[in-house]
Chain A
Amino acid sequence: MSGLNVRIDEKRFDDVSVVRDLAFSAQNGEFLALVGPSGAGKSTLLNMISGLDTDFVGSVCWDDQPLYAAGQSPAHLGMMFQEPRLMPWLSTLDNVSLVLSDPHAERQRAIALLQEVGLGDVLEAWPSQLSGGMQRRVSLARAFVVAPRLLLMDEPFVSLDMPTGNRLRDLLLALWQRDRPLVLFVTHDLREALALADRVLFLSPSPSRVMLDYTVPLERPRRLEGTDIARLQEELFRQHPDLLSGVLATQEAVAGGVKE
């Protein structure tokens, strides 16, 4: 089938199995969120899909081809990590054009994208001169500048304040709706997953596998703090209390701070 096919039979760290019999597929252009308790191997899973970690039993295919066989175009993959991970010695613009296949020829595209994410005035600034939110925007622009078919995001908006996080989420959705890459978005915040994704995959505690494949029944645009999402979250917790026990712990802490 077209799109992404992931089948991880087993992933071990030393003698401990962290992922076992985890499988899912996703269509081209779909927005998928992966939710699970911390320590469920979410980052490990992304590393295996991105090819950073090749030491596992299983396969990761794109349109029925191994995703990172030799000779594959690098333009297929964009990635955002938990931290912005910018090169401190490169300017905003150079950080983005760094990942282009021809940094000089495609420079204009990098500039246009940076202007689009609101960083047109700081093209020559060093990362240390940018705020945390701005650094994430550079990181987001870097992920989109390669025109990715697959975009892997590992809790990219964690530890940002709510307004900054919301602006970034809006920006991500706008760029996604324009370019339509397949997005795999890892988060431990269920509300964030429900606000962003078409489908949410719930991962079990380690050794992790997919416990529930849930299609979000909400129209876009959605509001992270909206009642729709709060209600949906409650309903999910009621229907799958044991399934979500790992998620629940973190969610209660977050929900405590929300006033409706």
Chain B
Amino acid sequence: MISRQALLRVGSLMGLVVLWALVAWVADSSVLPSPWQVLMSLGRHTLSGELPFHLAITLWRVLVSFLLAMCIGTLIGIVMGRYKTLDIAMDGPLVLGLNIPALVMIILCYIWLGLTDVAAIVAVALNKIPTVIVMVREGARAVDLRLLEVAQAYRLPRLRMLRQVYLPQLYPYLMAAARSGLALIWKIVLVVELLGRSNGVGFQLHIYFQFFDITSILAYTLAFAGVVLLIEALIMRPLEHRLTRWRG
């Protein structure tokens, strides 16, 4: 059963590569290199140490802004789900936050905070926080008060109540927020790097774009996609399984 699933996952990805190879072969053009050429390029960039360096920097920015967005978004989401008055008061700004284009936030952060890493990370986090809020607020509204009453009747210590009674009810929502969050943050971090940083995958893509080096662009993309898939397979899916195994 599990091996069948794995086979399906790998198979569909292999199919994509085959399709790519076929189209590249038919087109026979410098703007669409073959998978083999891209793989060679990937090897070269990796061996020179340049790709691992920029990838690590990008990953670090993703991690920091992801954690920042999740923490702040979760806190605000819980508060808004819990207190009706605050929910109403903050709903307007929230809708605004959801709809301001990412590019605008990025430009404003760079202008106001300077072309720094802090500005880059704040810009990415600001783009993600509103969606985390919306998802966590949904969860906080659905919290089962009857279970909280149990905690209250037995006078559970605050921390234990939070960890064993309250937060488990939010886990499905937190997982959804984390997943969609990573997907969004990957994309925005590259734009932020392209616009105002002098390292990272986004910056490198910008340079190769100027040289019209499609092979290198695809090599970086490939490395990046590989990391995303690894994180999904090694962290997100096992975590989700662990948190929801009681559903049986």
Contact = CB atoms under 8 A, between A and B. Distances in A.
Contacts of B160: 98
A19 B149 CA distance: 21
Interface string A68-100: 000010100111010101011110001000110
Contacts of B154: 74, 77-79, 98-99, 142, 146
Nearest to A76: B155
B156 A99 contact: yes
A87 B152 CA distance: 14
B246 A126 contact: yes
Interface in B134-187: 146-147, 149-150, 152-156, 160, 164-165, 168, 171
B4 interface: no
Contacts, number: 55
A95 to B, nearest CB: 9
Contacts of B150: 79, 81, 85, 87
Contacts of B164: 87, 90, 94, 98
- Most chain A CB atoms below 10 A, which of B152, B153, B156: B153
A72 B154 CA distance: 12
A32 B164 CA distance: 33
B9 interface: no
Contacts of A108: none
A79 B150 CA distance: 8
Interface in B230-248: 243, 246-248
A2 interface: no
A79 B168 CA distance: 22
Contacts of A78: 154
Given A74-B154, A87-B165, A126 B248 contact: yes
Contacts of A90: 164, 246
A97 B146 CA distance: 19
Contacts of B156: 74, 98-99
Nearest to B247: A128
Contacts of A258: none
B155 A74 contact: yes
A72 B164 CA distance: 22
Contacts of A98: 154, 156, 160, 164-165
A98 B156 CA distance: 8
A74 B156 CA distance: 8
Contacts of A146: 154
Interface of A: 50-52, 72, 74, 77-79, 81, 83, 85, 87-90, 94, 98-99, 126, 128-129, 142, 146, 152
8 contacts: A52-B149, A85-B149, A89-B171, A98-B164, A99-B154, A142-B154, A146-B154, A152-B153
Given A77-B155, A88-B247, 12 more contacts: A50-B153, A72-B155, A74-B155, A77-B153, A77-B154, A87-B147, A87-B164, A87-B168, A89-B243, A98-B165, A99-B156, A126-B246
For the complex of A and B, the 9 pairs showing the least CB-CB separation, nearest first, are A74-B155, A99-B154, A79-B153, A89-B168, A89-B246, A126-B246, A85-B150, A50-B153, A52-B149
